[in-house]
């Protein structure tokens, strides 16, 4: 019984830490998300009237804050930072479990966080990268969403960015069991010779998510394979 109670407390602690540190960026759901090849009316409406974001530079190239298989413009005042893939924790099992849950989602690993706080919003545009393989962009994106516990009502579509770059995009609902709240999230994926890349936009809530959409759309519009 002591062992069972200890495991339960450990699970609760891990869940709380995950929710507080990186809400909506980890999990493990075996459920297949709902799929539709057309953009939903609500997804289109959420970005309407948001306006265009002014570029504050680019990220992804050698020498930039985050070196990635792709490059794209970031919105003015947003601050990019490479994700440390070897977090401190030593032999602490809980710390290792937390780090693994934060750094990996489906077939990709966190590589870059672009912070919206300096621009007045609460949220991140996160970039995830994976190993080279045969999976197409939509398959990668579906695995990414399926690995996010609490994700549902996913709507997939294709998109085209700069220089003829094409990929897959998804809009979905994420429900946090800890916060008991549901919010909009979206992500896109492209494949490159160096592996797949996923860009994900979350936000503290749906209002913050929609306020940050111009920055996401700037990144999508200017996305180039490096």
| pLDDT tens digits along 191-223 | 999 999 999 999 999 999 999 999 999 999 999
User: Which one is predicted more confidently, 151 or 162?
Assistant: 151
Domains in the chain: boundaries: 2-225
Alpha-helical (H) ranges within 22-165 are 41-47, 93-103, 137-146
CATH number of 2-225: 3.40.1000.10
pLDDT in tens, 170-183: 999 999 888 789 99
Main-chain phi, psi angles of 106, to 5 degrees: 60, -130
Confidence of residue 114 (pLDDT cuts 50, 70, 90): very high
């Amino acid at each position: 019984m002591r062992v069972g109670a200890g495991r339960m407390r450990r699970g609760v602690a891990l869940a709380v830490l995950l929710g507080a540190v990186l809400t909506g960026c980890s999990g493990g759901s075996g459920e297949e998300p709902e799929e539709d090849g057309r953009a939903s009316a609500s997804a289109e409406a959420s970005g309407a009237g948001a306006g265009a974001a002014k570029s504050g530079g680019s990220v992804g190239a050698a020498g930039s804050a985050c070196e990635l298989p792709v490059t794209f413009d970031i919105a003015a005042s947003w601050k990019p930072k490479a994700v440390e893939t070897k977090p401190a924790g030593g032999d602490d099992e809980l710390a290792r479990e937390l780090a693994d849950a934060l750094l990996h989602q489906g077939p990709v690993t966190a590589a870059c966080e672009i912070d919206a706080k300096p621009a007045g919003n609460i949220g991140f545009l996160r970039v995830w990268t994976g190993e080279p393989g045969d999976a197409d962009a939509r398959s990668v994106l579906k695995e990414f969403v399926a690995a996010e516990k609490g994700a549902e009502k996913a709507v997939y579509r294709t998109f085209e960015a700069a220089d003829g770059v094409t990929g897959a995009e998804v809009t979905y609902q994420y429900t946090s069991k800890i916060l008991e709240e549901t919010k909009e999230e979206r992500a896109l994926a492209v494949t490159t010779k160096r592996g797949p890349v996923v860009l994900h936009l979350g936000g503290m809530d749906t209002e913050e998510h929609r306020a940050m959409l111009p920055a996401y759309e700037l990144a999508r519009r200017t996305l180039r394979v490096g």
